[in-house]
Structure 1
Amino acid sequence: MKINLIKKTDLVIIGGGIFGCAIAYYYSKNNPDKQVVLLERNELNNAATSRAAALMTMVRSKRSYIPLTMETFKVAKEMEKELGETLDFKVVGMMHVAASEAKVKDLEKLMEIAKEYQQEAYYISKEEAKKKAPWLELKEAIKIGYVPNEAFCDPYMLGTFFARCARKHGAEINQGVEVLGLLNKAGTVIGVKTSEGEIHASKVVDAAGIWAPILAREIGAGVPMAPVRSQYWITERDENFPTDSPMVLLPDAQAYARPEGGSLLFGIREGKSLVASPKDVPKDISDFVFSADEGMNDLLENGERLARFFPGFYDIGIKYYVAGFSGYTPDSQLVVGEVPGTKGFLVASGCCGAGISVAGGVGLGIAEMAADRVNPFDFSEFHISRFGKIDPFEEEWLNKCAAARSNKVSG
């Protein structure tokens, strides 16, 4: 079916994942006199977004992420009001279990950060923790922190709310339209070439997720991230997994868990994370085989760490396996902002497994930058050129990004 695209617009957004949809929402809402066009070659929110575990963690060691996540919580309520529907955020809280002196120090710093951002957080006893999460074995725990206002959500629904509200504010969102290249004139990106013709624009945002480096390469920019596999498992239902049980971070096991409708959803970091070059990932992510055995070998290799805290690990049945790619960087920080040396071109990528929680802040920040206004957030840690000149398709770089996920201890 032929799609009649606008030939000229103020902003073109490449990619209809949660970042792209959030940018479209804020730009259309805050610039009623301007036009934004979002282009997605498949379906909205069908790649990394829909496969996320979606832990909406506000209190975290990376201070730079906290205001972005707080914005996501704020805008979620605003969109619920606008649409007259609920996103049904599950506000179950987060337990941080420290079972080594090093992780106790990390937890103490985290509790100070919570105070700094006026977020409720306190220590609880092993007995209290066991009541909240009956599946947990806590004999090794030294200190347990509890942050009651943390939540998880349905990531696809959140992305869809951004898109629906963006449309209400006049955004043009097109699915089934592939961006084939950038229109570049004397160091300025002036639009895009698509499967349905050219669109000229004052600004272009590359929010193509793990494929973001492919288009940026056309103008000589190396987007410093790589597609690294994220995977998690969901158990059979069991009475030890109450639906209102809190999420749990187990940094000593490099694992996390959260309730999932009477089951337990959990993830464990593998020693060597699977990584791919952006150009080798198929256009439709469902065509990629993330694990021939649905992660069972990884579970066997790494499950012993989790079993220290979850004795039922070896007995419980696994019902679902979910895997996808996240854009990781060596420092586990986002890649968002203007591309140095090029005018009219911005990037929103490198989610590092936190894309759902920070989507509100990324969306608002990039939308304001695209409208030539001051970004309300500090993106200085996310600068695209912070690693110097890099080749995002080179094997050594890919392995550096994969190592960042393998060494991760947060959710």
Structure 2
Amino acid sequence: MNLMTHTDLVIVGGGIFGCAIAYYYSKNNPGKNVMLLERNELNNAATSRAAALMTMVRSKRSYIPLTIETFKVAKEMEKELGESLDFKVVGMMHLAASEGTLKDLEELISIASEYDQEAYYITKEDAQKRVPWLKVDEALKIGFVPNEAYCDPYMLGTFFARCAKLRGAEIRQGVEVIGLIHENGTVKGVKTSHGEIIAETVVDAAGVWAPILAMEMGAGLPMAPVRSQYWITERSDIFPVDSPMVLMPDAQAYARPEGGSLLFGIREKKSLVASPKDVPNDITDFVFSKDEGMNDLLENGEKLARFFPEFYDIGIKYYVAGFSGYTPDSQLVLGAVPGIKGFLVASGCCGAGISVAGGVGLGIAEMASGRSNPFDFSEFGISRFGEINPFEQDWLNRCASARSKKLSG
């Protein structure tokens, strides 16, 4: 395999972030070259294992413009390729069953209006009709955001890659980046399993492995690989294919339809976490749960059964788990590494990587082009926690705790 030895931009990692950056850079910089390197297959790790809730209206305002961009670019890519991404625009139902979550819901409805997104309250009767499996007796208020969707995450990542290739991006699979080429605080390229590549800019979009590459420059990325897991039930008439997604913060759970079944996830009390150095190159080699999460289900079953009474009776058909890059504040890790030239980072998805991919891709691509970022990445700064060791157990536990305490989807 012959690789270019010089390019304008090298992207390390072929997940949805890397593919989105390649798309926007190739689109907005005609005449410049971009190379994306992936040691396995595109979108085969966290991307393909995501539940892919495309949530625009959320408590973290910083994520909203990024997700709006994802919806926008999805339509543009569908038109360009003449194919459908088949986004399932079924809406998101927010069920508040305590004073604390009621306050959060009221704030969420207010946030929706700030961004001109439709959101309103619905009655218990309406909610029950839309979602037959949901028990709404304890609800104080139920909010509904009709334009929320879910998607096939692998397909969305692949669309980014295909459209990037149409614009001349060079995408290489089976090429491992084994180090950085750098001098006097400036990154000048990458060392790969197929030789060296000199570049004006390198983007570290290596997912949960991103801290390993960044540490070569003495930069501790503030994130850790934390397990995300969900289950898919047997098919049943109580799970209409077009029913809304549901967030149940009082149960720390979410659910969405999955072809006549129900896909749902919960927050376990102690999330599994690993050092980036201990995550195998091929994620399929990692055992996320020997019992396919059954112990975690039993631990949280009582909370979930409050809103999903058939929980104890319905059969579980599939278990899906993967690593997401979590941070203590559940914010992304994006932008330039302070004091280092020619090096950008796009990581720390915190379980929202699919929905924010469009905004992340555009923002990082513009930064790599030397232009101003159209989005505010100030909350995602790499040095916001000060100097940290991303491989230290105390730090790993701190990141895992952020997921365990998470209420939203």
What is the identity, as a one-letter code, of the residue corresponding to 1:96?
A: H
What is the identity, as a one-letter code, of the residue corresponding to 2:296?
A: D
- Indicate the residue corresponding to 2:183 in structure 1: 185
Quote how far apart the aligned CAs of 1:33 are.
1.3
1:66 paired to 2:64: yes
- Indicate the residue corresponding to 1:48 in structure 2: 46
User: Which digits, 9 at most, give the CA deviation of each residue in 1:67-112, with x for residues without a partner?
Assistant: 0000000000000000000000000000000000111110000000
- Indicate the residue corresponding to 2:194 in structure 1: 196
Of 374, 380, 390, the residue aligned with 2:378 is 380
**Cα separation, 2, equivalents of 1:206 and 1:328:** 16
**Cα separation, 1, equivalents of 2:284 and 2:313:** 30
- Indicate the residue corresponding to 1:308 in structure 2: 306
Normalised by the length of structure 1, the TM-score is 0.99
Gaps of 5+ in 1: none
Of 294, 317, 320, the residue aligned with 1:319 is 317
Quote how far apart the aligned CAs of 1:23 are.
0.1
Quote how far apart the aligned CAs of 1:202 are.
0.1
- Equivalent residue runs for 1:10-409 within 5 Å: 10-409=8-407
Identity %: 82
**Cα separation, 2, equivalents of 1:35 and 1:305:** 52
Normalised by the length of structure 2, the TM-score is 1.00
SS of corresponding position for 1:38: strand
In the TM superposition, structure 1's runs of 4+ consecutive aligned residues that sit over 2 Å from their partners are none
Quote how far apart the aligned CAs of 1:363 are.
0.1
Aligned pairs, how many? Answer: 409
What is the identity, as a one-letter code, of the residue corresponding to 2:342?
A: G
Quote how far apart the aligned CAs of 1:220 are.
0.2
What is the identity, as a one-letter code, of the residue corresponding to 2:375?
A: F
The answer as to whether partners of 1:328 and 1:402 remain within 8 angstroms in 2 is: yes
User: Which digits, 9 at most, give the CA deviation of each residue in 1:195-231, with x for residues without a partner?
Assistant: 0000000000000000000011011000110000000
What is the identity, as a one-letter code, of the residue corresponding to 2:189?
A: G
The answer as to whether partners of 1:95 and 1:248 remain within 8 angstroms in 2 is: yes
User: Which digits, 9 at most, give the CA deviation of each residue in 1:247-283, with x for residues without a partner?
Assistant: 0000000000000000000001000000000000000
**Cα separation, 2, equivalents of 1:36 and 1:336:** 19
**Cα separation, 1, equivalents of 2:281 and 2:339:** 28
**Cα separation, 1, equivalents of 2:377 and 2:97:** 33
SS of corresponding position for 2:389: coil
What is the identity, as a one-letter code, of the residue corresponding to 2:2?
A: N
Quote how far apart the aligned CAs of 1:311 are.
0.2
**Cα separation, 2, equivalents of 1:239 and 1:360:** 35
**Cα separation, 1, equivalents of 2:302 and 2:172:** 46
**Cα separation, 1, equivalents of 2:372 and 2:216:** 28
User: Which digits, 9 at most, give the CA deviation of each residue in 1:286-328, with x for residues without a partner?
Assistant: 0000000100111011111100000000000000000000000
Quote how far apart the aligned CAs of 1:15 are.
0.1
Gaps of 5+ in 2: none
User: Which digits, 9 at most, give the CA deviation of each residue in 1:100-152, with x for residues without a partner?
Assistant: 01111100000000000000000000000000000000111000000000000
**Cα separation, 1, equivalents of 2:213 and 2:279:** 14
SS of corresponding position for 1:368: helix
What is the identity, as a one-letter code, of the residue corresponding to 1:253?
A: A
SS of corresponding position for 1:103: helix
The answer as to whether partners of 1:329 and 1:350 remain within 8 angstroms in 2 is: yes
The answer as to whether partners of 1:268 and 1:303 remain within 8 angstroms in 2 is: no
